[in-house]
């Protein structure tokens, strides 16, 4: 089952808010519903968000009542703004929307129905490409994992975070399928617990050995020498190799450096934003503080207690041993290696 797909003229996606208790899907009839699903984290994970936004644009084209190209383009411009605003940090979202808008603005189509058909075709292509790209990253990254390794993982980067297969967890899955005996330590990843809820659920499906850790325990196990390598995903990577990822990633990278543990990011080149010189330029989404006070509606403190809830942090490139892409492993200096990876060169 794919995390997100086109189904009977609607966007069908797994509702990740229900996992691990239930595996259910929702069908979304318009781009506004897709934007809301991205915002409320029915779907999450940079590659999955990108594919969802692409299908959302296809929905916008399909549902538009415009009978000429100018009217359809105006409707698509509005949909693009709404979808891009749904989550600002994950660059795959804007990348996918812009890819479809480039087609819409190209002037290649003589009537709106041809454009509608082309946009759906490109959205489907983005989804299919994501699966193939993730499997290529899995093979490149699995070479970093040795038989007997214990891997520290943060958040969720498996099939649920992509259309299928996944990024960092996809690497772990590939190593497992190669027959390597591995164990995974999963940060619970507060406040939405993507590691405890989603990553553990996925590893259960694959039969991969794991333990869930409190977010504050990673340093303890690093200091004890029980962690061989750390692997995470990314929501945006700047041209210099600074990595924006789920909040808590930065402290893992710093601790890994202190304990001489290699720290790797796994992400497709669509997550690399060469227009940003460094991570200081990456916008950081600030989510509802209520998620901290009452995760999934379960209050742990009174409503009037003050809280902050940044969704992401930025790990400076000096803590990153390498960035696994579909074109190989980018290593320092990242300005050169990431540029070549984005250009499609093999690393």
Residues tagged active-site: 235
Distance CA 294, CA 285 (A): 19
Buried b (16+ CB within 10 A) or exposed e, 88-123: bbbbbbbbbbebbbebbeeeebeebeebbebbbebb
- The burial of 345, by beta-carbon neighbours within 10 Å (0-12 exposed, 13-18 middle, 19 or more buried), is given as exposed
**Token code pair at residue 328:** 């190989």
* Cα dihedral across residues 219, 220, 226, 232: positive or negative: negative
- Cβ-contact 242, 282 below 8 angstroms: yes
- Cβ-contact 323, 258 below 8 angstroms: no
Tokens 């942090």 belong to which residue? 313
Distance CA 72, CA 62 (A): 10
């Amino acid at each position: 089952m794919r995390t997100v797909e086109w189904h009977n003229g609607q966007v069908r996606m797994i509702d990740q808010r229900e996992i691990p208790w239930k595996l259910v899907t929702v069908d979304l009839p318009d781009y506004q519903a897709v934007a809301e699903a991205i915002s409320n984290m029915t779907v999450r994970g940079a590659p999955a968000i990108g594919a969802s936004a692409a299908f959302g644009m296809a929905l916008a084209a399909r549902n538009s009542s415009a009978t000429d190209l100018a009217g359809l383009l105006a409707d698509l411009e509005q949909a693009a703004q709404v979808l891009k605003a749904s989550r600002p940090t994950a660059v795959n979202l804007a990348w996918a929307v812009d890819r479809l808008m480039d087609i819409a603005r190209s002037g290649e189509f003589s009537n709106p129905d041809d454009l509608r058909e082309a946009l759906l075709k490109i959205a489907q292509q983005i989804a299919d490409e994501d699966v193939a790209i993730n499997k290529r990253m899995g093979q490149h990254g699995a070479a970093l994992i040795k038989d007997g390794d214990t891997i520290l993982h943060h958040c969720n980067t498996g099939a649920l975070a992509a259309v299928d297969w996944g990024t960092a967890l996809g690497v772990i899955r590939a190593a497992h399928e190669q027959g390597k005996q591995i164990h995974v330590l999963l940060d619970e990843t507060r406040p939405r617990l993507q590691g405890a809820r989603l990553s553990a659920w996925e590893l259960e499906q694959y039969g991969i050995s794991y333990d869930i850790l409190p977010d504050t325990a990673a340093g303890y196990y690093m200091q004890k020498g029980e962690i061989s390598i750390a692997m995470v995903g990314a929501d945006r990577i700047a041209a210099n190799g600074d990595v924006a990822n789920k909040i808590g990633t930065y402290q893992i990278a710093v601790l890994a450096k202190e304990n001489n543990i290699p720290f790797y990011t796994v992400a497709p080149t669509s997550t690399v934003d060469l227009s940003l010189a460094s991570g200081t330029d990456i916008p950081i989404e600030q989510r509802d503080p209520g998620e901290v006070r009452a995760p999934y509606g379960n209050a742990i403190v009174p409503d009037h207690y003050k809280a902050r809830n940044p969704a992401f942090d930025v790990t400076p490139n000096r803590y990153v041993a390498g960035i696994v892409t579909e074109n190989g492993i980018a290593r320092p200096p990242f300005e050169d290696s990431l540029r070549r990876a984005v250009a499609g060169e093999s690393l």
